[in-house]
Amino acid sequence: MDLFDLMSQGREDKALDRLEGMLALYEAENEAEQDQALDRARAFCDLEWGSYPAGLEVLARRWATRKGDGAEAAMQALRLHEEGAKPGSIIRAVRLSRLRELTRIDERAAVIARYGSEDAVLRPTEFETLFIQAATACETPSDVEAAVTTAHPMPASVEAARAECLRWEGRLRHMELVADPTAQPPSLPPACAARHRLVEGAWRNGLPAATIADFSARLEYWAGRGGEDGSGYAILAAGFEALAAGLSTRAPGQSTKDRARALKDANPEWSLARIGKELGISRQAVHKHLKGLAK
């Protein structure tokens, strides 16, 4: 390398050092300072390398040369390439991360206020205690599953299974919010974890979708957490076919009373208001229908 090349290399290194300093300000606490740093970096890259993406590309190459082919270098290069293609992406990511942290802090405070103290959040609730006590003498996983199934009625509908599953997951989220982040992540007690698995299985495919609300709940499961192996399509198709057949074979003259009774039999935990919503009638009308049928 001749003297001219050395001088050129030294000038570029100084320029890249300056660019790195500007990018460091993308994580400034003040958003106006972040925006100013972005404007300066874009103008500087235009001047030195002809464009913002070109300047970041040169910086990414220097980073790779200095750090090698490790994961850190690859992630930094990817970050710089994305920033070149979408100026401000680093700043947006920083702001989103800070917003999530503020949201987590607010959520944590709300959870502690709900339970009364951090310690109370981590102690078993009355609902959890039902299953913990029921499984005390169990020796095998199958014994535990049998115990938690009888300790409290299992959901009678897909919609109810979804509600209980989300209740368990919300409970775990509460525990995670107050737990020591440097310690082992908290988990549900074994009996409660078994119950969670059972109700999730009922939500996934363990119960027939007897109503439109049930089918909607099952669709939500497979859309959000069902995986990508395609198995959900077959389950949803079969559920829709069975539901459609049930709707099409309903007797034309079937009364609202009969439908209310059928829904109550299939979903004993449903309230009058919930049945009314399914039938499109008032809570009072459902009460009248069920009362009359009970006679």
- pLDDT number for residue 3: 36
Q: Give the pLDDT mean for 53-79.
A: 83
Cβ proximity of 68 and 58 under 8 Å: no
Q: Does residue 173 surpass a pLDDT of 90?
A: yes
**Range scoring the smallest mean pLDDT among 34-38, 68-72, 210-214:** 68-72
Are 132 and 124 in contact, with CB atoms under 8 Å apart? yes
Which range in 55-59, 104-108, 191-195 is most confidently predicted, on average pLDDT? 191-195
Residue 95 vs residue 273, higher pLDDT: 95
Q: Measuring CA to CA, how many Å separate 212 from each of 1, 252, 283?
A: 75, 19, 19
pLDDT confidence of 112, banded at 50, 70, 90? very high
Q: For a pLDDT cut of 90, what percent of the chain falls above it?
A: 58
Whether residue 21 contacts residue 37, with contact meaning beta carbons closer than 8 Å, is answered with no
Q: pLDDT tens-digit profile of 27-43?
A: 999 999 999 999 999 99
Residue 270 CB partners (closer than 8 Å, separation 6+): 157, 160, 263, 264
Q: What is the pLDDT of residue 294?
A: 46
Beta strands in 62-161 (DSSP E): none
pLDDT for position 120:
95
DSSP 8-state assignment for residue 228: S
- Per the model's pLDDT, the better-predicted residue between 5 and 79 turns out to be 79
Model confidence pLDDT, tens digit, residues 225-278: 877 777 888 888 888 888 777 665 454 556 778 778 877 777 777 888 888 887
Q: Of 39, 189, 76, nearest to 122 (Cα)? A: 189
Residue 208 corresponds to which tokens in the numbers above? 């027939």
Mean predicted confidence (pLDDT) in 174-202: 94
At residue 79, φ and ψ (nearest 5 deg) are -60, -45
Give the range among 27-36, 75-84, 137-146, 185-194 with minimum mean pLDDT.
Answer: 75-84
Residue 9 clears pLDDT 80, i.e. is over it: no
What is the Cα–Cα distance from 100 to 109, expressed in whole angstroms?
A: 14
CA distance 276 to 236: 26
Give SS3 for 123: coil
Q: Are 115 and 168 in contact (CB under 8 A)?
A: no
Q: What is the pLDDT of residue 82?
A: 92
Calpha distance 120→214 (Å, rounded) = 34
Could you tell me if 187 and 193 are in contact, meaning their C-beta atoms sit under 8 angstroms apart?
Answer: yes
**232: number of CA atoms within 13 Å, CB side?**
17
282-283-288-290 Cα dihedral, nearest 10 degrees: 120
Residues 7/10/14/15 CA torsion (nearest 10 deg): 60
Distance from C-alpha of 185 to C-alpha of 28, rounded to nearest angstrom: 31
Q: How far apart are CA 38 and CA 56, in angstroms?
A: 12
Rounded Cα distance, 28 and 108, in Å: 25
Confidence of residue 182 (pLDDT cuts 50, 70, 90): confident
Tokens coding 199: 């109700």
Whether 4 shows a pLDDT value over 50: the answer reads no
- Residue 286, pLDDT above cutoff 80: yes
Average pLDDT over residues 150-168: 94
Of residues 118 and 241, the one with the higher pLDDT is 118
- Average pLDDT value over all residues in the chain: 87
CA–CA distance, 142 with 4 (Å, rounded to integer): 78
pLDDT of residue 68: 66
Supply angle C-alpha 4, 10, 16, rounded to 5: 135
Comparing 120 with 253, the larger pLDDT belongs to 120
